[in-house]
């Protein structure tokens, strides 16, 4: 787990950009405090590429230094690699490459396995990697760069194209050594206010883009990158019609999860686990205990009733038999640390769970260097309550189109807020119109009086329609899951997981987001995902002998944050001061924002998530656009080994 940078020069003068790469790497020091290095392909013309790297040593600590050089026996040092992440099947890949091709390795790490796989198998090698990754490989013979990002988007990779060349980085802020101060991407801002994140491949900075999940690319000096998708997730539910088939399905899930956790436990340092009060993290911790008798778990919460799972997590830890550590977060810590969190975040994501995640990661890093977590279970196994909506609306959505239009008219005739009004509205519209992800902050019709740059011709459907187009043969639940894989999961869930843990030089691994797990999860039928009573039915059944009973059917909370109470109380003035000082009038109507805040304090309506979304953008703007806020960045001081 590390931070990488790379620059491919258009002019063959890559050496002129070494200092820019070094400065960008300094912005990402937290991602790899153990060692740092740079490499330039210095030819007679001054070189074509510069690589920079910050390392967090996890596997083969004494060796596997990066930038890493590798080549076959007749072309030693042909390739240079920078690589962020972990390849969990690297031992198997090395063995296969040696047996089939006579590959020779100088280290015991996973980096050489990537380069050798690329040398012998070409771009197809990317699909054979079982892990989380973003990497760049420079071929000194062909004079070309090859890179890729993992199937689900667990590890980030940003890119910027400039007149001088193409740059890549694990941190968007590092690329500003090439692009200058951030410039607000107006379409991205509108999508952000609806979705609470900027959908890939955009960022809030118009000069920087993301390399999309599940893609690889090539770059030749003087030419733009060519991107190709190598991972095409397909949910292919298979009906189960007998108890024997159900039992077999549950066993396949249990087996593949055990195997995935075993793979994710591979490390030369201590591995712990996050633990909330839900089935996902509890299952991961219970499985991990099989492979580490001294497993430590970590949880967090707020000192307010209903906003903490500390007690449930502690009960789970006792049942599993692990040492458990708790980090409680105060309201003052939330408000005072938010600018620093947003600096680490790079791009605005308005998920309040970022805050407790940052603090629990900070606590965990005092004890371990790697943690497992339960991200991805909901998207793969059907864990969100909204996935039950197709079932609850079926009697209405199966009606002829004319009758459904009548329902919509009837709903509009009801008084605003009347019970059942929204049910009639949602039943009258197609899935593509009513479902665009888990977080829906502002409705499109609420933006016209708030966002000065509002464009009525722009919609969330610009993002989701191309994704829906890939799922026309799937059932409604599978289609919703597919949407979340390409939007919510990689735009929110995985961003906050990576950024908040790496802010604390802590590696987070997600065993649910594994290609082998996906192959099994993709076959689960809707009837084994959601019912009237529960979600993730098949996963719960598969974990019955692993997860303590008090968690097995418990409603998911995660790391809840009491911003509704804070913004109506002691944090009101804090929020108001940000709104008044932010230099965002070009985009947002200040009076409209203040009206949202005042209506929230008065108890007229719960505007907490909308206010929080605006505050996160305004703080991001003042940090990266105007420079009015400069958070104090702590120097990483963690030991190399734990």
Phi, psi dihedral angles at 427 (to 5 degrees): -70, -20
Asked if 370 and 507 count as a contact pair (C-beta separation under 8 A), the reply is: yes
Question: Within its chain, how far is the Cα of 256 from the centroid?
Answer: 22
Give rounded-to-5 percent helix, strand, coil for the chain.
45, 15, 40
**Alpha-helix residue ranges (DSSP H) falling in 78-234:** 90-101, 111-121, 172-179, 186-195
Determine if residue 142 is labeled as part of a ligand binding site.
no
Sheet containing 79-87: which strands, arranged edge to edge? Answer: 68-70, 79-87, 131-139, 144-149, 215-219, 226-229
Q: Which candidate in 1, 2, 145, 195 is catalytic?
A: 2
Determine if residue 402 is labeled as part of a ligand binding site.
no
The CB density around residue 313, as the number of other CB atoms within 10 Å, is: 26
Cα–Cα nearest to 434, from 400, 393, 380, 492: 393
Give the chain's largest Cα–Cα span.
78
Asked if 275 and 313 count as a contact pair (C-beta separation under 8 A), the reply is: yes
E-strand stretches of 296-376: 296-302, 323-329, 370-372
Asked if 92 and 113 count as a contact pair (C-beta separation under 8 A), the reply is: no
Cα–Cα nearest to 277, from 318, 325, 315: 315
Write the DSSP string, 205-254: BTT-EEPPTTEEEEE-TTS--EEEE------------SHHHHHHHHHHHH
Give the C-alpha separation, 83 to 155, whole Å: 10
**What SS3 state is found at 198?**
coil
Catalytic annotation present for 2: yes
Cα–Cα nearest to 431, from 401, 392, 484, 468: 468
- Per DSSP bridges, beta strands 215-219 and 296-302 are unpaired
Give the C-alpha separation, 639 to 115, whole Å: 29
Determine if residue 110 is labeled as part of a ligand binding site.
yes
**What SS3 state is found at 184?**
strand
Find all residues with CB under 8 Å of 329, minimum gap 6, and list them. 300, 301, 302, 355, 356, 359
Q: Calculate the alpha carbon distances from 535 to 88, 185, 303, 541 in Å.
A: 29, 37, 28, 11
**Alpha-helix residue ranges (DSSP H) falling in 475-571:** 476-486, 488, 494-502, 515-521, 537-542, 549-552, 563-568
Give the C-alpha separation, 495 to 152, whole Å: 11
Residue with tokens 């899935």: 431
Asked if 208 and 456 count as a contact pair (C-beta separation under 8 A), the reply is: no
Annotated binding site for ATP: 373-374
Catalytic residue numbers read 2
Annotated binding site for L-glutamine: 110
């Amino acid at each position: 787990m590390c931070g990488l940078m790379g620059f491919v020069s258009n002019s063959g003068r890559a050496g002129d950009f070494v200092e820019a790469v070094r400065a960008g790497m300094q912005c990402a020091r937290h991602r790899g405090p153990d060692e740092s290095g740079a490499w330039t392909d210095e030819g007679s013309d001054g070189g074509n590429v510069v690589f920079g790297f910050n390392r967090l040593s996890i596997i083969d600590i004494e060796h596997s230094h990066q930038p890493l050089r590798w080549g076959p026996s007749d072309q030693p040092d042909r390739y240079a690699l920078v690589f962020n992440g972990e390849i969990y099947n690297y031992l198997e890949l090395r063995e296969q490459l040696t047996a089939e091709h006579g590959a020779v390795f100088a280290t015991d790490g996973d980096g050489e396995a990537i380069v050798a796989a690329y040398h012998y198998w070409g771009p197809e090698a990317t699909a054979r990697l079982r892990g989380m990754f973003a990497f760049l490989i420079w071929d000194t013979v062909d004079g070309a760069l090859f890179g890729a990002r993992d199937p689900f988007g667990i590890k980030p990779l940003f890119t910027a194209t400039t007149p001088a060349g193409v740059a890549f980085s694990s941190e968007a802020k590092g690329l500003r050594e090439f692009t200058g101060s951030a410039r607000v991407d107006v379409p991205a801002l509108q999508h952000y206010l609806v979705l609470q994140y900027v959908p890939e491949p955009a960022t809030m900075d118009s000069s920087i883009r993301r390399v999309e999940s599940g893609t690889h690319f090539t770059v030749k000096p003087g030419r733009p990158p060519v991107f190709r998708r190598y991972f095409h997730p397909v949910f292919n539910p298979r009906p189960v019609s007998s108890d024997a088939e159900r039992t077999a399905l549950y066993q396949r899930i249990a087996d593949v999860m055990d195997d995935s956790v075993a793979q994710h436990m591979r490390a030369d340092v201590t591995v712990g686990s996050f633990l909330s009060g839900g089935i996902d993290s509890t299952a991961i911790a219970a499985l991990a205990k099989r492979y580490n008798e001294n497993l430590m778990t970590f949880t967090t919460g707020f000192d307010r009733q209903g906003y903490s799972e500390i007690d449930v997590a502690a009960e789970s830890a006792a049942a599993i038999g692990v040492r458990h550590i708790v980090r409680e977060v105060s309201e003052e810590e939330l408000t005072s640390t938010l600018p620093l969190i947003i600096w680490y975040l790079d791009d605005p994501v308005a998920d309040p769970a970022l805050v407790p995640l940052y603090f629990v990661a900070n606590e965990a890093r005092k004890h371990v260097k790697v943690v497992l977590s339960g991200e991805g279970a909901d998207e793969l196994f059907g864990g969100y309550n909204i996935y039950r909506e197709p079932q609850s609306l079926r009697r209405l959505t199966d009606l002829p189109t004319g009758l459904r239009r009548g329902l919509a008219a009837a709903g509009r005739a009801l008084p605003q807020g009347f019970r059942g009004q929204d049910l009639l509205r949602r039943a009258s519209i197609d899935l593509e119109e009513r479902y665009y992800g888990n977080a829906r902050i502002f409705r499109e019709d609420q933006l016209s009086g708030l966002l000065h740059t509002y464009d009525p011709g722009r919609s969330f459907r610009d993002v989701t329609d191309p994704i829906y187009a890939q799922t026309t043969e799937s059932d409604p639940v599978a289609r919703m899951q597919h949407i979340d894989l390409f939007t919510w999961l990689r735009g929110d869930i995985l961003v906050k997981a990576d950024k908040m843990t790496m802010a604390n030089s802590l590696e987070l691994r997600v065993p649910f987001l594994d290609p082998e797990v996906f192959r099994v999860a993709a076959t689960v039928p809707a009837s084994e995902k959601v019912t009237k009573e529960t979600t993730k039915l098949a996963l719960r059944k598969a974990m019955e002998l692993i997860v303590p009973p008090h968690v097995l059917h418990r409603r998911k909370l995660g790391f809840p944050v009491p911003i509704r109470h804070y913004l109506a109380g002691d944090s009101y003035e804090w929020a108001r001061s940000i709104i008044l000082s932010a230099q965002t009038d070009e985009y947002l109507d200040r009076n409209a924002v203040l009206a949202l805040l005042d209506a929230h304090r008065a108890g007229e309506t719960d505007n907490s998530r909308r206010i929080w979304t605006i505050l996160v953008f305004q703080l991001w703007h003042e940090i990266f656009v105007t420079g009015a806020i400069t958070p104090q960045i702590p120097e990483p001081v963690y030991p190399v080994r734990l």
